[in-house]
Copies of this chain bind each other. A is one copy, B any other.
Amino acid sequence: METITLKKIAEQLGLSISTVSKALKDYPDVSAKTKEKVRNLVTELNYVPNSSAVSLRSQRTNTIGVIIPETVHHFFSYVIKGILEEADKKKYNVILMQSNEDYEIEKKQVELLLNKGVDGILISLSNTTVCLDHLEKIRVQGIPLVLFDKIAKNINCSKVKVDDRKAAYEAVSYLIDHGYRRIAHFRGGLIPQNSVDRFLGYKKALIDHDIEFDSSLVYMCDSNSDFTDGFNNAEKMIQDHGDNVDAIFTVNDLLAIGAIDYFNANGIKIPERIALIGFSNWFVSSVLTPSLSSIEQHGFEMGSKSAQIVLHEIDCKNKGIPIEPQQIIIETNLIIRNSC
């Protein structure tokens, strides 16, 4: 199984390599007859340019690198799908990596992508990423970089995210507008920023509606663990507050699922006794009993938009046009189901 190269084509036609190359690129240099001959043989032998050689020459790989914290995640599945479709349209390949929410791994993966010579990089930061030197390195090398969903403020690059604060604000406002007053919050940690913003949105909604913010209603959860953390905190909450709590806004759907589990198991009626709204709108939310209200983040759009931006920046770079980082907000939707 010998590979076909320009050299072989040239030999068979008694031409030089450069003439063959030019013929294929439709240079005005080459005569119509010669082009015809070359094209015929090329299709006959099924010639395909060697990708490594083209990359070496052009200093481009037609590949973008993507780092996400975790592949097994409803939201990120959609993000990946969006990225793949957009990349496919523009004839780019996607190298996928996961950081497993580990800063050291993320750093290593960035290094690998840079060594590989990808044309652009998309990252959703890990929860443990504090230092941004590895991102600066990407910038310094002039490689287009787009952060999505889990972003960092202190780096000058394009960013695609949802407005977590606003989304949380809307969800909590909805609860308030429907008569709930003692609204608890199952919050995530101080990293990523998303958790913090959701908490801030929650708090602001209360204050704007003249409801006193009660910090004893805020439960710090491990948002990476399984749903038992939601179960446990629901139990704790009932112990702490008994009847003096009527709704929960959770930082993600997983915690809400755990809480629902606890309430169902203990005969606490949803939404009569306790209402819930989650965040992310996992598929599971729609089929739970009761079905869970949640906030749709539009992962597919986030992925495709992020890819679109990075590919656009690659394009700019190739054309020598300076890149202006942009910040895109993907609109969220509050999806009301039976849990409130």
A→B interface (CB under 8 Å): 1, 48, 50-53, 55-56, 61, 63, 71-74, 77-78, 80-81, 84, 88, 93-98, 112, 114-117, 140-142, 227, 257, 260-261, 264, 283-284, 287-289
Residues from chain B with a CB closer than 8 A to the CB of A81 are 71-72, 98
Contact status B115-A96, CB under 8 Å: no
In the bound complex, residues from chain B placing their C-beta under 8 Å from that of A117 are 50-52
Collect the chain B residues with CB atoms within 8 Å of residue A48's CB: 114-115
Q: In the complex, what residues of B have CB within 8 A of residue A98's CB?
A: 81, 84
Would you call the interface of chain A mostly helix, strand, loop, or mixed? helix
Q: How close is A290's CB to chain B, nearest CB, in angstroms?
A: 9
A71 to B87, CA, bound (A): 14
A-B contact pairs, 18 of them (CB 8 A): A1-B140, A51-B117, A52-B53, A52-B55, A55-B55, A71-B81, A72-B77, A72-B78, A77-B77, A80-B96, A88-B97, A93-B95, A96-B96, A227-B287, A257-B287, A283-B284, A284-B287, A289-B289
Give the residues in chain B near A115, CB-CB below 8 Å.
Answer: 48, 51
Do A95 and B94 have beta carbons less than 8 Å apart?
Answer: yes
CB of A112 within 8 A of CB of B93, answer yes
Task: For the complex, give the distance between the alpha carbons of A116 and B61 in Å.
Answer: 10
